[in-house]
Structures are given as structure tokens and as C-alpha cells.
Amino acid sequence: MKKSLIYGIASLAMLAGATACSDSKDDPKDVAGTPQVNDLHFDIFVTLDGAGGMNSQSSILVLSVNSLEDKDAVYDFVNAGTDITASLYEESITKGEYYYMIPRSKDCFGKYQITPEGVKTIQERPFAKNTFKDRRYCHAWTGDNTLVILGSNGDNGSKSDKGEILWTKYDTRNLSIIGEGDLGLNGFKGKDGKEVVYFSTSGLARYRASDNVIVYAFQDKSDETSFYVAFIDADTMKVKNIVNEDRAEFMAGTAYGELLQNKMMVDENDNIYIACNSEMPDAESYTCQYGSLLRINNGQYDFDKSFNAYSGHEGKLVTIDYLGSGKCLCYIQDPKYCGLVASNTEKAGWGSNYNCYYAVLDMASNSLEPVKCNGVNLPYCLGTFAQRSLVVNNKAYIGVNPEHSAPCIYVMDLNTWEVTKGSTIADGYTFDMIRYLGSDK
Amino acid sequence: MEKFFCISIIALGLGNMPAFAWHSGPGEVSDSLVEEEPVFANTLKDLVVNGKSNLEKLQTGALNVTAIDIKPLVNTSATLGDIINRAPGVRVRSEGGKGSDYDLSINGMSGNSIRYFIDGVPLETKGTGVNVTNFPINLIDHIEIYKGVVPASLGGDALGGAINIITSGRKKNYLDASVSAGSYQTYQGDLAGSYTSSHGIIIKPSLSIGYSKNDYTVRGVRVWSEEDDAFVSRDMKRFHDRYFSAVAQMEVGVEKRSWADMFFIGGSWSEVRKDIQTGAVQNVVYGKAERHTSDWSLLLRYRKRNLLTDGLTVNLTASYTNDNSCTIDTAYRKYSWDGSWIPSNRNEISGNSRMMRHYRRPLTVVRVNLDYTLGDWHSLNLNCMVNANGNHRYDDMDASFEPSTDYFTKTILGLTYTQSFASDRLNNTLFIKDYINHVKIGQTDEYWITGSNAMPKSSTKQNIGCGLGSRYSFFDALSVRGSYENTVRLPLARELLGNGTTVYPNLRLHPEKSHNFNIGLFGSVDMGEYGNITYEGDAFYRKIQDYIQAKISEAEGMMQYDNVSNVSMKGCEGQLTYSYGSWLSLSGNVSYQLAMDMNRLKSDGKPSATYRNKVPNKPWLYGNADLTLNFDRMFTKDDGLRFNYLYQYVHWFFLTWEGYGWLETKSRIPTQNMHSASLTYSWKRDQYNVSLECSNIFDSALYDNFMLQKPGRAFTVKFRLYLH
């Protein structure tokens, strides 16, 4: 009886929009703007002897599991998990049952499955005209089977060449190249009329289905005080418009696209959001940053200048995931909030430290609420090159890497906003990423 | 308790070594050989002398040392690296064919934990273009491999051991010239000589030129097949792996003057041009990138015995090296293993802009060694080595590359006391070393990889090390020895500052520290007419902190050295040699080592899953077997035929951590079985020598590193002329 009372109170709290913890289950209904898949299962990525991503040299293991919600499950990698170190990267694109990426051989774009027997190559396609650098490209799905990858040509200011943004469009059924070319940005003059020759490595891209446009954010690496967004016709790949945005200095990711981390999101109204960051004024280091969450409204070819949902909040935006109902899950690096420094302008609290936390941002009210379970904030995490959260089938899975306990996953029901503790990753590994796989509904 | 005995040093089963009696200590150039005429194995008869040679003293001393005589192998095409690779406890992991990069380890310690010396002076004074793959072996008398404990007199900061190349002390006029040709369009020519004028001026020129196309077949590489609409596995020839090396040096000096026992000035020059065929794995294929190295150096050597008082010997060496390297990667092409390419938008190695990156690393080394002998059984040695290195980087093509200048200086002081008791049955050595290094960092690019933003621009650090060794001989058939060193190794320029192509800088590197223990026994059993057996068995333990290890970088298919923190290494090795007279030698050695990760916690402060796990990507079981037959007076009274068969085995090992992940998904470096044979005929008292060789007889696919195949079967013929 007492237990039921607690559940009841917790449910009421959830309905009020709070993020508390409960074991109760409501009938799920699809949350608009979030992915829905059949045959859902998850791949857990961990690394040994260090963290993955960036220039990591660690061993990468991948374990496929059917559920992350079993709170008694402890996933260990002793004689378990697929060792992909020799062939694949963590930085990849997933859709359906497949991973897409430029593999370690660097000679192609490939479609793979990670199975208990090893990495299974479904199809590979060597570069034809455009060559991309492994792990340094961004992507946009412009159809169920149409994938566009984009990235700079690698020329960062050599004396004989100029920068350009390349694109290649694949039919993912057989990875045939539908088309490839460049965006014609060679010679592009930036905000002050100065020619941009050194583009950000990958930039960020998302597809806007309502008007068949790829929104591509990029930066002039020689002027990191603002960034640009190009609106590209997804059929012709012609740039329709380019705008400059100086309310933030740069996108939250400029080099690795969204191959590992989610930096952009699209809501149910086809509005596109970009997580951005800027260096703090009077900061001791470039790494001391604060975030901005900017929006490009559906059908528009510029930012909504009235919108900055993260305005007034401290901390650097690391990842964002759309939760529906105008809310998003933010993974934030904020040493001050985590009690490490008195001010975020102090360099000491940044870097590799337990200085990150999860919060739900209500974009309408600009309120930021730390994710709680049983009324207690989720533990602070270490790692800014990880993607431990995902949203699928009306739930948000939130992986944490706490200082004093084993990594584990919390599950947020997006219908009830209840948060429950899910499965645990055995201690000893660096928990980098979870991906979901399944067939699209 | 002197006695007559037969010196029959078996160098790894390579045949009986010629016997010399040294008057110089370890690390010094011998200047007084009992034999004035070099004698080679295939003509050597057992030589009866009174007392032990210094070479044998070295091998049977307190420290764990393997001494290898080079002379029996001068007639073959073996490189210095090949020869070292046959020693117990030593592995040379090669990335490819002739001139390829390599990684040498002693008792499992990382190759760069090993220091190289030439006559006690760092080999790097010859420039980075000169290494064990191209150092002319006809200049070498023998090499000394120190395992774990390195004498302070060498002035090095080696953590795992040291290799000291002792050049020949031949004093008479001679000319030593050889040419060889082999598979994969491999050619080598060596010339060395010595001339003494009537005024006693000694001139020692040498020249060594090598070339290889290295176009051996690589098995199972990825090639695109339109027909299959997939990458298929094919055997393809390497097409961009040419290697050219020229090393020349000249020394002029005098000996046995009132003011100097030896005084030489000289210079050396080397030029290395190397195509770069692959990245850190062979699936990443390049077709145009190159690396050039051009070095010159000036060297002064001086030695005087009894300088101020009887028993005091001073050795002085000073050198300046101008070390230049350039990586050229300007072709925007993407190559495939079939040699085809498509236009690309980026360079081959790093995927960035066109690159013509220069590294200029001036190096100044000064070494002062004072050796004081107190009677017959005690000696003191004080050694000071100052090594100042610069690293200037700039790029002719990449405008975004920021030129930088880094400096680091290291000073190593060493004091050694050696004593002998009981007619040299008991021998003890104690030493202390002081390591001081200074680093000044200018580079700031790629700080997230190099860590330059986390380092002070200028810093000086000091570390103290010490050690001891002891040996007791019960009788010829049984001696025991043990040694210990608390040692420090300062990062190498390559580890700290990268190589500009495939190795990233890592300015966060700390010096490695280690407690090294050795214990062993050895002996020789003379069975009279039934031959002679020598044996040697050693066990070792290393406890290493901030261990530096090369790792494949995910970022670029490149490598970077990193502190793996705490590692323990233990193992054992043994060697057994049977010789029958001068015509048969049969030898085998086995090495086992276990490197364990001893970090309880990860860098994030949490428990590490790999604690007490075997460190991956390291060979842990390997061995060599060697048969040598010498036939003297085959056709004439001064000819000889020498046959050698060598078998090398390396057990397979995992690329990544053992015990994690499903076994069938884990990558391995496969077992190596390599068989090689050589036949050498010499006549006119070794004036003329012809050698026929076949390496990798069964054409096996051999890998020292993951997905980097070494050459297949290769034939070589070599002719050597030795006039003396």
C-alpha cells in the first residue's frame, strides 16, 4: 500500500513535467518527433585502457543486448563482445540494422553489421571522385535509402589550393553512388568579405524533409567568432542560401559531424536545432565555454533570431536529443555546477573530470531541470566525447559514467517522464556509446 | 689462478668467434688486439692464450650481457638488425623490407627503451638516417647487448637495455670491399679501409650504399573488383617502397703519441631516401609520399692513459650532428594496392593539405669518461654525457602549419666502482647515475593530440638511479650472477616530438622509471674430444612506471607513444650451444616474457579491467635455432666453406587485450616460422669470399606487426674482397 502511494505521488510529479523515478508503467503512446523502430536492440560500446573517440588508441568492444531496462543485468565484456578495434571505428552512422562509415582501411565507404562472429561487411564502395577522411565527415539522410555525406576537402590553407566542401550521395541498399560533387564554396566570401579558404573539417548536417533541404553548418577556421549555415537543395545539391550566425562562436561539433555525438535535432514540426558553444569572456582557457541552442524554423532560410533556448544557462553543450513536447535532453559540461570550481572561467575544472551532467531543457520556458531518479540528480559524468544517451520508442536511455559506481543506464519514459534505473555496465571499462538498431516502423 | 684454456666463444651458434684479448673496457674501442690479423670463423683454429679476453669477461661478468662477434657474418648480407634479432631476449619487429622502420625490444621492453651506442657514444650522433638497418657491418668488431642493467660508463638512460656497437680496431692497412645483389632489386655495396702514412697519420674512410625496390608480394590485400562489386583479397607487389641509403665517414688521426694514445677527428654524412608504401597497417596504401633524411656530423675522439697519475685514463668524445629530415606528401591521390589511383583532395598520410614538412634536429653530444684503476682488482669510472637536441619544424607547402622550435637537453652523470676478489671468482659492480633533462616546447598545433597546451614551455627535471651486479664462479661449468638497477629513461626525440609522418608528438610523456632485476647462471663444459657445451639461463623482472609504448592511433592510422603507466615484466631465457671442434656448432635459444598491466585504476580514477592482464601486441614466446658447419681446406690449404641454417620462431599474439571480447572476433599477429640458409666460400685466407643466401626459404607470410607483412623468400649473392 505504501509502495503504491509512492508510485502515485511519483506519477503525479511526472505529469507535472518533473523527472522523478518510479517503477510504474503507463500505456505507451508514440511521442511525436522521436524515432520508432521494430525489433529494437542495442549495441553497447566500451573501450579498454582509455576512452574512445578523438585520437583514442583504445581497444573497442561492442556488446549487443535486447534490453537496457533490466536493472539486475550487469553487462561484462570478459570473453564477450565483438572486438572491432582492427577494422571499424566508433564514429559511425546507424540506420536499421546497419552501421555505415569509412572503415580503418580508409579506402571506401562501407555498410557493416557487428555480430558475435565479428564484423560482417554488407557492402563497400571505394571512393570514386570525392575522397573523404575517415571519421571527418557529416551526414544527412534525405530518404529511407539515401544518405549524403559531406566534409571539407582537407585543404586547410596550402599555398597551392583552396578549401571546398565535398558531398557524395549513396543509395544505401547497395551503396551505389547516386551523385557527388562539391558545394561550390571555393571562393566563398565570409561575413567581412574575406574569402574562406580553411573550412571546418566536417561541419554538421541535417535533412529538412518539409522543403527537401539539407541544412549544413560550417565554420571558417581562420575566424572562429561565428559560423555559417548553408541551405542545400537535396536533389540538386545546389546551395540556395548561406547565412552567418554570430550569437555563438561555433557549433558544438565541427570536426566529426554527428558520427559519435548528437549535436543537432529536429522536432515534430521540422524545426532544426543546433547546439553551439562560445568561449567564456575572461576565461583562463579556450576550453572554458558556454552553450547556446539555436533554431532554424521550418521553411526558413535563416536562424530564428528570437530563439536561444539555452540562454542564461551555464555550461558547454556536449550533446542534445529531442524528447518530444518541446523538450530536449542535454548533456552539459559544467564544472561549476558539478562543484569543481567557483567559476567556469577557471580552467582547472574543465578537461577530463567528473564535470558533466544530464538535464532536460524545456525550450518553451527555457527552464533547465537536472535529470533525477528517486528525487536525486543522476551522478556527474566524465567524458565529453561519448554518446551514452539515445531516444527511441518513446523512451530516453541515459547512460552515466559516475565516479564512485559502475556505469549504468537510466530509462526515462517520455509519456510519463518517469526515470528508472536500468542495466549496469561492469566496472573496469570506459563506457563510450550506445546505439539502437532495428527496422524502422 | 690463471690457466691455459681454449677460447671458443660461441656467439649465438653463429660459429666460433675469433679470439681477441682486449685492453679496453666495455664501451671502448679496442686498440690492442692480441691478434693483429683478423681471423675469421671459417678459418679459425682454436687459439690458445693465457687469460680471458675482455669480450669473454664481458659475457661472464656480473651483468647480463650478450656479446656477438660480427666478423663471422661479415661475408653474409645480414644487417646489424638481423644479427641482433638472433640473440636471446631480443626481438626486432620490422615493418617491412630493407630500410623499413623497426622496433627493437630487449626482454620485452619497448624498442625505444633501448639505447644504441657506437663505441660508447650515442648512435644518434651519426644522424637519424643511420641505424641498425644500414650501419655498415664491415666496420664492426662486435656488439654488446646489455639486458636490463646498463653500466654507468655508457652514459645512457636506457630502461630496458643497451646495444653498444664496437667498431673494429684493426690498425694495419687494409681494404674491405663488398657488393651484393638480391631479390626485390636489392643491392648493397660497402667499402672500408685504413691507411697509415709514414708519418703515422691514420686515415679511415668508409662508404656504404644500399638500394632496394622492396617490391615483394604482399598477401591478401584489398583490391576492388568491379566484377564482384566488392573488395577482394589479392596478392600484390609493393609498388612504392624504394629505399636508398648512403653512409660515408672519414676519420683522420694519430695513435701512440706522447700527448695522446689516440686522437681522431672525423666526419660522417648520410643520405636516406625512402618511399612510404603504407600507414600503420597495410590496408592504408600510399603511392607518392616520401621521407628524406640528410645528416652530417663532426666527431672528435681522444684518449690518454695515465694522464695525471698512473691508472687514470681519460676518454673524451665530442660531436655535432646536423640532422635533417623531410616528409614530402604533395600528391593529392588515393592509391590502391594495384597501383591505380584516383585524384584526391587531400594528402596521403594525414589527409590534410599538401605537406613538405622539415625537421631539423641539431644534436650536440659531449662525453667525458675517467677511468681509474686501483691495483688489479678495483676500479672507479666517472662518466658524464651531455646531449643537447633541438627540433625545428617548418613546412614549405602547408600554410596552416605553424613553424616551431623545441629544445631538450639531457645530462647523465655516472659513477661506477668495480671490484674483484678470490682471483676474480667474485666480481662486484656498483654504480649511481644522475639524469637531468631540460625541455623547451615551441609547437602548439594539434594540442589535443600532443598535449602541448598542458605542458610548461620550459622545464627541467632530475632523477637519480643506481644499480649493482655480482657474479660468482664456482668453476668453469657453473657461475651465478645477479644484478639490479633502478633506472630512468628520458623520452626520445621521436617519442616526445614525433617523426613528422607516422608518429605524432606526445609532449605529455613522462620519463620511464624501472626497477630491473636479473639473475642467471652460465657455464661451459669441455667434453674433450666430444666437443664443448656452453649454456646460459637468465630470469628477469622489471617493474616499470610510466612505461612508454607505441600505439596505433585511431585518428589517422598513425602512431603515438604514450605512458601506459605501470607495467611489470617478467620472463626467462636460455641458450644452449654445442660445438664440435671448429666445424660444427649447434645452438638454440628460447625467450619467454610476460608483460602485465599493473594499473589498478584507469585515468578516470576508476578500476581498470586490464589490471594484471597481459599487455597486448607484444611477442611473448620466441626462439632461434642455428646450425653452422665449417669445412676448412676444401680445395686448397687456405680456403673454407661455411654453411649456416637459421630457424626463427615467434608465437602468435593478440593485437588487443586478451580475455576481453569474443575470441573469434579478436585480431592476432600470427605465428612466424622463418627458415634461412647461407653458404659462404672463402679462399686466399679470406681475401676472397662469396656467399649465397636464401631467407624465408618457405616463402611464408611473416608479420612482426599487425597487417604489415615482411618480405617473402629472397635470394642474395655477395662478394667480398678483403685485402690486408
Q: Which residues of B touch A89 (CB under 8 A)?
A: 554
Q: Which residues of B touch A58 (CB under 8 A)?
A: 554
CA separation, residue B499 to residues B128, B326, B588 (Å): 10, 10, 37
- Parallel, antiparallel, or unpaired for β B559-563 and B503-504? parallel
Nearest CA in chain A to B353: A155
Average pLDDT of the segment spanning B214-242 = 96
In a domain, B366, yes or no: yes
The answer to which of A125-134, A145-154, B169-178 has the lowest mean pLDDT is B169-178
Q: Do B609 and A85 touch (CB under 8 A)?
A: no
Q: What's the CA gap between A29 and A27, in Å, rounded? A: 7
Nearest CA in chain B to A58: B554
Interface residue of A83, A177, A355 to substitute, partner B, most B CBs within 10 Å: A83
Residue B378 has pLDDT above 80, yes or no: yes
Nearest Cα to A60, choosing from B450, B655, B350, B550?
B655
Residue B497 has pLDDT above 90, yes or no: no
More confident residue, B607 or B447: B607
Number of domain units in chain B: 1
Q: Which residues of B touch A78 (CB under 8 A)?
A: 609, 659-660
Average pLDDT, chain B: 86
In a domain, B308, yes or no: yes
Q: Do B397 and A158 touch (CB under 8 A)?
A: yes
Q: Quick: pLDDT tens for B697-708.
A: 999 999 999 999
Name the minimum distance, in Å, from the CA of A94 to any CA of chain B.
20
Nearest CA in chain B to A121: B230
Residue A111 has pLDDT above 80, yes or no: yes
Average pLDDT of the segment spanning A406-427 = 97
Q: What confidence category does residue B494 fall into, taking pLDDT thresholds of 50, 70 and 90?
A: low
In a domain, B328, yes or no: yes
In a domain, B711, yes or no: yes
For residues A39, A40, A42, A43, the Cα torsion angle rounded to the nearest 10 degrees is 40
Q: What's the CA gap between B286 and B300, in Å, rounded? A: 41
The answer to which of B42-46, B425-429, B483-487 has the lowest mean pLDDT is B42-46
| Strands of the sheet with A82-83, listed across from one edge | A82-83, A59-65, A37-48, A430-440
The pLDDT, as a whole number, for residue B45 is: 40
Interface residue of B455, B551, B604 to substitute, partner A, most A CBs within 10 Å: B604
The pLDDT, as a whole number, for residue B599 is: 87
Average pLDDT of the segment spanning A383-399 = 96
Closest to B354 (Cβ–Cβ): which among A59, A160, A174? A160
Q: Which residues of A touch B610 (CB under 8 A)?
A: 48-49, 428
Q: What's the CA gap between B170 and B139, in Å, rounded? A: 10
Q: Which residues of A touch B609 (CB under 8 A)?
A: 48, 77-78, 426-429
Q: What confidence category does residue B50 fall into, taking pLDDT thresholds of 50, 70 and 90?
A: very low
Measure CA of the first residue to CA of the last residue in chain A; give whole Å: 39
Average pLDDT of the segment spanning B67-71 = 90
- The verdict on pTM exceeding 0.90 is no
Q: What confidence category does residue B23 fall into, taking pLDDT thresholds of 50, 70 and 90?
A: very low
In a domain, B391, yes or no: yes
**If you compute the radius of gyration of chain B from its CA atoms, what whole number of angstroms results?**
25
Average pLDDT, chain A: 91
Length reported for chain A = 441
The pLDDT, as a whole number, for residue B375 is: 85
CB A116 within 8 A of CB B662: yes
CA separation, residue B324 to residues A142, B300, B364, B542, B597 (Å): 51, 21, 14, 36, 37
Q: What's the CA gap between B370 and B28, in Å, rounded? A: 12
- CB neighbours of A236 closer than 8 A, spacing ≥ 6? none
Name the minimum distance, in Å, from the CA of B442 to any CA of chain A.
18
Interface residue of B283, B346, B551, B559 to substitute, partner A, most A CBs within 10 Å: B346
Average pLDDT of the segment spanning A29-40 = 93
Q: Quick: pLDDT tens for B266-285.
A: 999 999 999 999 998 899 99
Residue B166 has pLDDT above 60, yes or no: yes
The pLDDT, as a whole number, for residue B16 is: 35
Q: Which residues of A touch B336 (CB under 8 A)?
A: 107, 126
Q: Which residues of B touch A105 (CB under 8 A)?
A: 222, 281, 283-284
- Percent with pLDDT over 90 in chain B: 66
Nearest Cα to B103, choosing from B81, B83, B125?
B81
The pLDDT, as a whole number, for residue B423 is: 82
Q: What confidence category does residue A158 fall into, taking pLDDT thresholds of 50, 70 and 90?
A: low
Q: Which residues of A touch B397 (CB under 8 A)?
A: 158-160
Q: What is the CATH number of the domain that holds B621?
A: 2.40.170.20
Nearest CA in chain A to B453: A285
Q: What confidence category does residue A363 fall into, taking pLDDT thresholds of 50, 70 and 90?
A: very high
Candidate ranges B337-346, B459-468, B687-696; pick with highest mean pLDDT: B687-696
Domain that residue B236 falls in:
177-723
Would you list the DSSP string of B576-637?
A: EEEEETTTEEEEEEEEEEEEEE--SB-TTSSBPTTTTPBPSS---EEEEEEEEEEEESSSST
Average pLDDT of the segment spanning B211-215 = 97
Residue A6 has pLDDT above 60, yes or no: no
Interface residue of B337, B662, B667, B703 to substitute, partner A, most A CBs within 10 Å: B662
Residue B25 has pLDDT above 60, yes or no: no
| Domain locations along chain A | 262-384
Q: Which residues of A touch B345 (CB under 8 A)?
A: 130-131, 153-155, 164, 166
Q: For residue A401, which phi and psi values (nearest 5 degrees)?
A: -125, 75
The pLDDT, as a whole number, for residue B404 is: 77
More confident residue, B631 or B447: B631
Average pLDDT of the segment spanning A110-119 = 97
More confident residue, B554 or B377: B377
The answer to which of A12-26, A396-410, B215-229, B374-388 has the lowest mean pLDDT is A12-26
Closest to B345 (Cβ–Cβ): which among A86, A153, A428? A153
The pLDDT, as a whole number, for residue B43 is: 38
- ipTM of this complex prediction, to 2 decimal places: 0.88
Q: Which residues of A touch B399 (CB under 8 A)?
A: 157-159
Would you list the DSSP string of A43-74?
A: EEEEEESS--STT---EEEEEEES-S--TT-E
Q: What's the CA gap between B63 and A171, in Å, rounded? A: 66
Q: What confidence category does residue A14 fall into, taking pLDDT thresholds of 50, 70 and 90?
A: very low
Q: What's the CA gap between B122 and B390, in Å, rounded? A: 16
Q: Do B284 and A106 touch (CB under 8 A)?
A: yes
Q: Residue A343 is placed in which grid cell?
A: 567559476
More confident residue, A8 or A241: A241
Give the amino acid at B209: I
More confident residue, B44 or B440: B440
The pLDDT, as a whole number, for residue B8 is: 33
Nearest CA in chain A to B347: A154
Q: Do B230 and A49 touch (CB under 8 A)?
A: no
Interface residue of A48, A127, A149, A165 to substitute, partner B, most B CBs within 10 Å: A48
Residue-wise burial string across A164-190, b where 16 or more C-beta atoms lie within 10 A, e elsewhere: bbbbbbbebeebebeebbbbebbebeb
Q: Quick: pLDDT tens for B424-459.
A: 899 999 999 999 887 776 666 666 566 666 666 677
More confident residue, A134 or B505: A134
Nearest CA in chain B to A382: B604
Average pLDDT of the segment spanning B228-238 = 97
Q: Do B707 and A158 touch (CB under 8 A)?
A: no
In a domain, B116, yes or no: no
In a domain, B443, yes or no: yes
